[in-house]
Structure 1
């Protein structure tokens, strides 16, 4: 999974989490309260793109809908590829969510995205490493 796609996938997970929190289903359980701000940043970037706005609305209205999440991931990836400042902002939101995890608060946990497993932790590899 390329880095932009990984950031988009993590962002979609955070949007879904933010949608649940704003609906009160998980209010107070998160140490990272940037979900609503992330949604608003994405909404402002998507303004005028009805397909992208629809993808965001589908996830915020049905956070558990995997098809909606995949559609939003595609839209986020496309917009991040076209707009570097937007990509930087989205990366910052993801980084902030990961940092909140280290403060002993509720966490953005590892998420299974299609067949790739994404861990929001630093990974260090030492010694010989062969990839085949």
Structure 2
């Protein structure tokens, strides 16, 4: 994945961790992966005021897509500058993807598109749409 996609996926998983308060970082489930990812980002950028501020704002309003996007925008240039760290985050994201019940949906709306509502529906089994 490119740094922008990694940053957005990481921000989304961080937001999920904060919003749902899933786990305390122990275990091997999604909660543990999300906690490790958040800790890794905080440790790597400790003292970086822009990252700290973006994460704090997300913690204050974890359901905000705009604040998750803000975290992604702050992380993106840092990941571009540090491919090794981007690779570490990608490995954590790959691990999170393998966890039961984890689905990552990224919607990009480009140009002058007008969107009234985006709906994501989880489905198990066969689906027929007529």
Relative to the length of structure 1, the TM-score reads 0.69
**Equivalence for 2:103:** 108
Name the structure 1 match of 2:30: 32
Greater CA deviation, 34-43 or 66-75? 66-75
1:84 is displaced (CA, Å) by: 2.1
In the alignment, what sits opposite 1:61? 60
Once the two structures are superposed, the pairs formed by residues 8-19 of structure 1 within 5 Å of their partners are 8-19=7-18
Aligned partners of 2:4 and 2:76 also within 8 Å: yes
58 and 15 in structure 1: CA distance in 2 versus 1, 3 angstrom threshold: same
Runs ≥4 in structure 1, deviation > 6 angstroms? none
Root mean square deviation, CA, Å: 2.2
1:21 equivalent in structure 2: 20
Q: Distance in 2 between matches of 1:23 and 1:57?
A: 18
- List gaps (5 residues or longer) in structure 1: 25-30, 117-132
Deviation, 1:32, is: 1.2
Cα distance in 1, alignment partners of residues 67 and 30 from structure 2? 23
- Rounded to whole Å, the distance in 2 between the matches of 1:38 and 1:60 is 15
Please tell me whether the aligned partners of residues 19 and 35 of structure 1 are also in contact (alpha carbons under 8 angstroms): no
How far did 1:109 drift? 3.4
Give the superposition deviation at 1:3: 1.8
CA distance in 2, matches of 1:52, 1:109: 23
Distance of 1:97 and 1:68 partners within structure 2: 21
